[in-house]
Structure formats: structure tokens, C-alpha cells
């Protein structure tokens, strides 16, 4: 038996180095697993390699009694599954105690999206007569046209965009690389920003970032969140707004217009098509609303 702290540290290092997860993701895993470790030591007085399925189920029961939501319990169980999968592959344990444990039943949570008119109003809000407006319009157009995550958007470099082909290279979760088309409208907005704004703001600097601030630094996630909220208010959108809502809208609007689910999965960078299938439920709800509104016996 190895010391449990050493095993836990080894797994977190594995997530950082071999899986390439971001620091925030590793910290989230660490928090969930440390919570399990405390339960194991204080309530069970067992090492990790002596845990069985009943112990894991008892942990979930304890989380439920503490008022932890079903969704949070499922996330913690997922973290534990990954940990024991690692321990099993490294032969630190002889069996996976999470294998037969069923997670809590989760209510289906459909993503909230903007309507197409709302998206059009949002994209038309930046002032094309100002340098900042040209940059912001290019960012908003690209985000909606490609369905990128905000971290992928602000992390883009000049080499990641091919204007001639209309393609952007995104580096998603786990540093997985994918190519996504973005169309002519976003391409025109990008070309205008790259021609008229970026060279002036970059000056003699050599920043690799595609989207710059007026001080020649790269745009940040927080900075983009702020400008998105400002433009949403200016566009008269009174519902909660986030970069991820534009990603949801991108996927939903594609499927509503007949796009192939597998193609949308690839563009979003989802490893599992089940993650993408939630958007089919959104489009189904949309069709039911249209039927109820327009059918004479709806």
C-alpha cells in the first residue's frame, strides 16, 4: 500500500501533465477528491485501496445529507471514477470500487439560447466606425459563427486563423485541437479588424494574440465578459447573457436549420455525442412551440 496523499498528488500531476487540463480544472478535481479523502479517513478509517462500492455509496449518501445537489454529487462521483481508473491502470488497486455505483438521477437541464433576432441585434451593436467597435464586432461575429468557448476565443493567435479558407484552429479541453469554419460574415469582420485596427494597436510589439487591447495586450476572459454584457444591454437583451450562451445559440440555430448532429459535435469539440444531443431537445421544444402557435389545432 502506498500513502494516500502520494497517490492523490500523483493523479493530480497526471491530470496536469499527461491530460493537459487547465489549472482551474485540476483544482476542481482536487477539491472533490480531498473531500472524499477526508470522509475515508474520518468516517471509514480506511486507505484508498481498501474502499469498496458500499463505501462509495455511503459517501454519496453523506453528501446528500449535507444538502449537496444531485448535479454536484454526480460531478464528485465522476472525479472519483477518474481517480480509481488511474489507480487501477497503475496497479495501485486491484478493483475499481466505483464501477457498480449508480450516480444520482439528474434533472435534464436544457441550455438557454438567444433567438436569432436577438443575436442579430447583438452583433449589430458594436460601432464599425471606431477601432474598438471593429475589434468587438470581429470577436462577437467569430464567437457566434464558430461556437468557440470564450477561453478558446481569447486564446487564439494570428496563426490560428486562415482567412482564405475561412477556418479557425481551436484548442479545447485537454489541449485537443480542432478546425472550425466561420463563414464570410465573420471573415469580413476579422479581415477589417486585422487590416485597420490590430497593426495600429500592436505597434512594434510582437504579441501573438489575435485579439488585442488598446495597450497591445491580449484580450482576457473577464474583459470579453464585460464587453458582451455591455453590448447585450445596448441591444435591448434583458435575459442573462454569457459567452457560453452564444455557443449554445450557435449549436441550436444550426440544428434548427437542419445541420447534422455529428458535424455540430465536431465543431463544438464534444468528446461524447450525448453532450451534443441536449441541443436536439432544445430544437424539439422549439418545434413544439411553433406547432402550438401556428397549427389550427395546436
**CATH number of the domain bearing residue 205:** 1.10.443.10
Asked which of 89, 108, 137 is the last residue of a domain, the reply is 89
Alpha-carbon gap, residue 126 to 170, rounded angstroms: 24
Per-residue pLDDT of the chain (298 residues; tens, 9 = 90+): 458 889 999 999 999 999 898 889 999 999 999 999 999 999 889 999 999 999 999 999 999 999 999 889 999 999 999 999 999 999 999 999 999 898 887 766 666 889 999 999 999 999 999 999 999 999 999 999 999 999 999 999 999 999 999 999 998 776 788 999 999 999 999 999 999 999 999 987 789 999 999 999 999 999 999 999 999 999 999 988 999 999 989 988 888 888 888 888 888 888 777 777 777 765 556 555 655 665 566 5
Asked which of 40, 71, 89 is the last residue of a domain, the reply is 89
203 assigned to some structural domain: yes
- pTM of whole model > 0.75? no
124 assigned to some structural domain: yes
Asked whether residue 49 falls in the same domain as residue 184, the answer is no
131 assigned to some structural domain: yes
pLDDT at 27: 94
23: left (phi over 0), alpha (psi -120 to 50) or beta: alpha
Q: 236, exposed or middle or buried, with CB in 10 Å at 0-12, 13-18, 19+?
A: exposed
pLDDT at 270: 82
Q: What share of the chain is helix, strand, coil (3-state, %, to 5)?
A: 60, 5, 35
Instruction: Provide the domain count of the chain.
Output: 2
82 assigned to some structural domain: yes
Which residues are identified as catalytic?
A: 149, 173, 244, 247, 270, 279
* Closest alpha carbon to 40 in 97, 122, 102: 97
Asked whether residue 140 falls in the same domain as residue 259, the answer is yes
* Dmax (CA) of the chain: 71
pLDDT at 2: 56
Which domain, by its residues, includes 237?
116-294
Asked whether residue 44 falls in the same domain as residue 157, the answer is no
Asked whether residue 121 falls in the same domain as residue 80, the answer is no
pLDDT at 265: 87
Asked whether residue 121 falls in the same domain as residue 169, the answer is yes
104 assigned to some structural domain: no
pLDDT at 161: 96
Asked whether residue 206 falls in the same domain as residue 257, the answer is yes
94 assigned to some structural domain: no
101 assigned to some structural domain: no
Q: Which long-range contacts (CB under 8 A, 24 or more apart) does 27-35 make?
A: 28/79, 29/79, 29/82, 29/83, 32/75, 32/76, 32/79, 32/80, 33/8, 33/79, 33/80, 33/83, 34/8, 35/76
80 assigned to some structural domain: yes
Alpha-carbon gap, residue 236 to 258, rounded angstroms: 29
pLDDT at 71: 86
Alpha-carbon gap, residue 65 to 60, rounded angstroms: 9
Size of the chain, expressed as the number of residues it contains: 298
Amino acid at each position: 500500500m502506498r500513502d494516500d496523499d502520494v497517490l492523490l498528488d500523483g493523479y493530480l500531476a497526471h491530470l496536469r501533465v499527461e491530460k493537459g487540463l487547465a489549472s482551474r480544472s485540476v483544482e476542481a478535481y482536487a477539491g472533490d477528491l480531498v473531500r472524499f479523502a477526508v470522509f475515508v479517513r474520518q468516517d471509514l478509517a480506511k486507505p484508498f485501496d481498501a474502499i469498496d462500492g458500499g463505501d462509495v455509496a455511503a459517501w454519496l449518501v453523506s453528501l446528500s445529507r449535507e444538502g449537496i445537489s444531485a448535479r454536484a454529487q454526480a460531478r464528485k462521483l465522476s472525479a472519483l471514477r477518474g481517480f480509481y481508473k488511474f489507480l487501477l491502470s497503475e496497479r495501485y488497486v486491484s478493483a475499481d470500487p466505483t464501477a457498480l455505483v449508480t450516480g444520482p438521477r439528474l434533472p435534464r437541464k436544457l441550455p438557454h439560447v438567444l433567438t436569432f433576432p436577438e443575436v442579430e441585434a447583438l452583433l449589430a451593436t458594436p460601432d464599425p466606425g471606431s477601432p474598438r467597435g471593429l475589434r468587438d464586432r470581429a470577436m462577437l461575429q467569430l464567437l457566434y459563427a464558430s461556437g468557440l468557448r470564450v477561453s478558446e476565443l481569447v486564446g487564439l493567435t494570428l496563426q490560428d486563423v486562415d482567412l482564405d479558407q475561412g477556418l479557425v484552429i481551436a484548442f479545447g479541453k485537454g489541449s485537443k485541437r480542432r478546425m472550425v469554419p466561420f463563414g464570410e460574415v465573420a471573415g469580413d469582420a476579422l479581415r477589417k479588424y486585422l487590416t485597420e485596427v490590430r497593426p495600429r494597436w500592436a505597434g512594434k510589439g510582437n504579441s501573438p494574440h489575435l485579439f488585442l487591447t488598446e495597450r497591445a495586450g491580449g484580450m482576457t476572459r473577464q474583459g470579453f465578459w464585460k464587453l458582451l454584457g455591455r453590448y447585450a444591454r445596448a441591444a435591448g437583451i434583458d435575459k442573462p447573457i454569457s459567452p457560453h450562451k452564444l455557443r449554445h445559440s450557435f449549436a441550436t440555430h444550426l440544428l434548427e436549420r437542419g445541420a447534422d448532429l455529428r458535424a455540430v459535435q465536431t465543431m463544438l469539440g464534444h468528446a461524447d455525442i450525448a453532450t451534443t444531443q441536449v441541443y436536439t431537445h432544445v430544437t424539439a421544444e422549439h418545434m413544439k412551440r411553433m406547432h402550438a402557435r401556428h397549427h389550427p389545432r395546436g
